[in-house]
Structure 1
Amino acid sequence: MTIHRLESHADFVRVHFHPGSGPRHADFHWFWLRHNSELDRHPLTHERIVCSSELPFELRPRDVRVTSDATALEVDWGDRADGQVSRYDSQWLQTHAYAMGRSPAPAPPSDVSALAVDPKRLDGPLGRAVLQRLQDTGAAVVRGFGNDTEALIEAFGREGLSVIETHFGRIEDLRTDNTTNLHTDQLGYTDSAVQLHTDQPFLERPPRYQLLHCQRPAEVGGENSVVDGLAAALHLADVDSHAFDLLRTVPVTFHRKQRDFERVLTAPLLDFAAPGGFRIRYSYFTLAPHRVPFAEMEAWYRAYNRFAKLVRDEHHQYRFRLGEGDLLVYDNWRMLHARTAFSGARWLRGVYFDAE
C-alpha cells in the first residue's frame, strides 16, 4: 500500500492512497498527526510521554512530504532542535483513518466573475437575469448600467419584487453628507469600514434583497465584499459540527438603538427552518451582550469566532469595486456584505426589495 499524493489544507492533510483497486483518500487533522507522532513516545517502551494538552492546538507543519518509496508520510513540525521529523507508515494511516473517503463541503467561493451579469449580452430582461444569478450565487454585479435607480426599481418590479421602505426611507443615499434620509446615525453613512454583516437582523422578517447602486465611487477605498453565508454554514457543519449546532440553536439578541429608532429581536444566527428558506442573521455592531449559561459562554464564543474567521478570510470572499453606474444586488437572507474605509465623496443608493 503506497501513497499516491498529498493535498495540504489549513487544518488537515488529504492523503491519496494508491492500492491496486484504484486511488482512495483519507483526511487527517494536523493536530491528530502531531499527537500521534512517534517522536513523543519513549524510545524503549514506546509509550506516550506527551499529553495532547501540552501541544499548541493550532500548530501547522513547516513541511509535509511523501517518502521517495511512497510508503510513508513525513511531517516536519519545525519545533525540533535535532531536525527530526514525524513519519507515518501508509498502512498505519489506513488502519487508523477516521475520515476515509470524506467529501467535504467547500468553503465559500471567491471568483467574482461568477457574479457578473453583462446587460449588453442578455437575451431577456435585466431584472430576470439578476434574479436568476441570485438563485445561483446569492449576489450579482452589473457593470455600466447608468445612474437611473428608478429604472432599476421598475425592472425588478416587473419581476415581482416590491420596494420595502425601512426606517431609513424608500431609497437610502449612502454618503457622508446625507440630507435625504432619516436615522443616519449609523456606520453606513460614515467613511469608516463596515465589516461583514447582514442588514436589519433586528426585524422579524428582514428585507430579502438589497440593491446598492453606485452613483459616485470614492477617491480612495470603498471596495465591496460579499460572502456566501449558506456555503459558510454548510462548511462549518462539515468541519466543526459542535460549533455549527451552537450557531443554529443558541439565540442571540440584536439591538438597534439610534437617536429616534429602536428595535430588539432574539434569534439564532443560522436558521434553516425560516419561512422562505435559509436565513442568516449576522451583525457584529448590533449584537447585544451575550447571555448564555456560564458553563457555555466560552464554547459559544469559540463557535462564533470560528465562523467569523471563516467568513473574514479574504480567500472566502467575493471582492470588487463598484464604479459609477455599477450595481450590486444580493440576497440578504444568504449573503454577508461589507465595505472598506474610504476617502472622498462616495455615493451609493440603497434599495430593499422583497417578493410580492
Structure 2
Amino acid sequence: MTITGVDHTPEVLTVRWQDGAATRFHAIWLRDNAQGAAFRHPGNDQRLFDLTEMPDDIEIADARIVAEGLEIRFAPDGAVSVFAAGYLREHAYDRAAATPDQPVWGAELGGRLTRHAYDAVRQNPSARKAWLDDVTTDGIALLTGVPAVEGKVCEVAELFGFVRETNYGRLFEVRSEAQPINLAYTPVGLNVHTDNPYRSPVPGLQLLHCLTNAAEGGDSVFVDGFRCAQKLRAEAPDAFALLSRHRAPFRYRNAETDLSNRTAYIETDETGRIAAIRYNNRSAAPLDLPFEVMGEFYAALRRFSRLLHDRDGEMRLRLEPGDLVTFDNERVLHGRTGFSGGARHLQGCYADKDSLRSMATVLSRKSA
C-alpha cells in the first residue's frame, strides 16, 4: 500500500493512503515503535530502550515521504526513524472497533474436514502450513497415515513446537486401566469437555493419536465451543454475561497432585470477542459465587451446557490406527461414546498455541 500524503501536529501524524483511507498515529506511539538499528536489535527486532528512557514531551518535529516509506524526526531528542509503509498499514490502530464473530461449525464439519497426509506435512512446508492453518481456523485438524508407534504423538507436536508436560507425563494413555486415575482411562462414555481447566495456564492444544481401535463404539466427539457461546449470547445475553463475568473454581487432586484454578466458563477479550471456553463438569469444584448470583449463574450454566450437548453441534469421528487429531483445547470440546469388546488405545500429549502460531507465521514468511 502506497502513502500518498502526510501531515502532522506535534502530537498526531495523519497518513493518507492510495485507497483513500487515512490513519492517525500518536507521536508517543511512533517514537516507542521507532525503527532502525538505534532502536531495535537487528537480529531479533527487540526494542533497545525502555519507555522511561524517552522524553516526557515527545513531539513530531517533521515527517516526509521517502523512498523507503515515511521518515519522522522527533523532538526534543532529535531521534529519526524511517517507517516502511507496510509496517504503518499493518499496525494502524485508528479504526472503528470491530469484533466480528469467529467463523464456527457444527456437525457438518465432518463432511468437509480435510485429511492431511502425515508424510506430506512432515516433508513439505506448504502442506505443514495448510495443516496448521486448519487448526487455527477451525480449531481442529486431522492427520492420516501417522505410524501407529508409541510416542509418535510427541514427534508430531514437535513439527511445530514443544510438548507441554503435565502431571500425566510427557504423553498420556487413553485406554482402559485396572486402577484408573482419570475417567478417561475407563471404557465409559465421556461427556464433551475441555481438558485441565484446573491449570494456570491451561494447555492450549491437545493431540490424540490412535494406535488401536477394534472396539465396539468409542467414537470421538468434538464440539465447537465458540459456536455454542455465540448462540448463547444471541439467545440469552444475560446468561452469557454471567458466564463471562464470573470466575468459577476447578480442581483436580489425587494422592500425588492437587491442582486448582479459577477461570471463566466463557472468556472474552477487551473487545468482547470470545477468546476461550473452559468446561469440565468432572473437574468443577463447588461454586462459591455470591448468594445473590448463584441461582442465576446455575441457570445460565445449565443453558450453556445444553447447547454444548446439542447433537446438531457434534462432529463424530471414528479414529482409525494412524489417525491423529490436533485441536484447540480452549475452543473445541471433546468426548467419546462408550466402548466395549476389542482394544482401543490412543496416546495424547499437550502443546501450546503460541508455538503453532509461530511456526505458521515463519512458514508464511518463507513462502512469500
**Which TM class, normalised by the smaller chain length?**
0.5 to 0.7
Structure-2 separation of matches of 1:136 and 1:105: 9
Structure-1 separation of matches of 2:346 and 2:287: 33
Aligned residues: 247
Report if aligned partners of 1:109, 1:316 keep a CA contact under 8 Å in 2: yes
Q: Out of 273, 278, 283, which is 2:269 matched to?
A: 273
Structure-2 separation of matches of 1:341 and 1:200: 21
Q: CA deviation at 1:133?
A: 0.6
* Equivalent in the alignment of 1:157: 158
Q: Which amino acid aligns with 1:269?
A: Y
**Shift in CA distance, 118/105, structure 1 to aligned 2, threshold 3 Å:** closer
Q: Which amino acid aligns with 2:131?
A: V
Q: How large is the Cα RMSD of the aligned pairs?
A: 2.6
Structure-2 separation of matches of 1:132 and 1:248: 27
* Equivalent in the alignment of 2:291: 294
Q: Which amino acid aligns with 1:239?
A: E
Structure-2 separation of matches of 1:280 and 1:202: 13
- Give the 5 Å matches for 1:120-269: 124-125=124-125, 127-148=128-149, 150-159=151-160, 161-177=161-177, 184-269=180-265
Q: CA deviation at 1:253?
A: 0.5
Unaligned residue ranges in structure 1 (runs of 5+): 1-102
Q: Which amino acid aligns with 2:199?
A: L
Structure-1 separation of matches of 2:102 and 2:327: 22
Q: Percent identity?
A: 31
* Equivalent in the alignment of 2:333: 336
Report if aligned partners of 1:246, 1:303 keep a CA contact under 8 Å in 2: yes
Residues 164-199 of structure 1 show CA distances to partners (whole Å, capped at 9, x for unaligned) of: 1110101112111389xxxx5111111111111111
TM-score (norm: length of structure 2): 0.62
TM-score (norm: length of structure 1): 0.64
* Equivalent in the alignment of 1:36: none
* Equivalent in the alignment of 1:316: 313
* Equivalent in the alignment of 2:111: 113
Structure-1 separation of matches of 2:133 and 2:187: 32
Residues 238-262 of structure 1 show CA distances to partners (whole Å, capped at 9, x for unaligned) of: 1110010011011110011122211
Report if aligned partners of 1:197, 1:337 keep a CA contact under 8 Å in 2: yes
Q: CA deviation at 1:106?
A: 8.5
Structure-2 separation of matches of 1:163 and 1:260: 22
Q: CA deviation at 1:266?
A: 1.2
**Shift in CA distance, 323/245, structure 1 to aligned 2, threshold 3 Å:** same
Q: CA deviation at 1:108?
A: 4.3
Structure-2 separation of matches of 1:116 and 1:327: 12
- SS of 2:279 mapped into structure 1: coil
Report if aligned partners of 1:117, 1:129 keep a CA contact under 8 Å in 2: no
Residues 46-84 of structure 1 show CA distances to partners (whole Å, capped at 9, x for unaligned) of: xxxxxxxxxxxxxxxxxxxxxxxxxxxxxxxxxxxxxxx
Structure-2 separation of matches of 1:218 and 1:175: 12
Structure-1 separation of matches of 2:187 and 2:118: 33
Report if aligned partners of 1:108, 1:317 keep a CA contact under 8 Å in 2: no
Structure-1 separation of matches of 2:284 and 2:217: 27
Unaligned residue ranges in structure 2 (runs of 5+): 1-99, 356-368
Q: CA deviation at 1:225?
A: 0.8
Q: Which amino acid aligns with 2:266?
A: L
* Equivalent in the alignment of 1:54: none
Structure-2 separation of matches of 1:128 and 1:293: 47
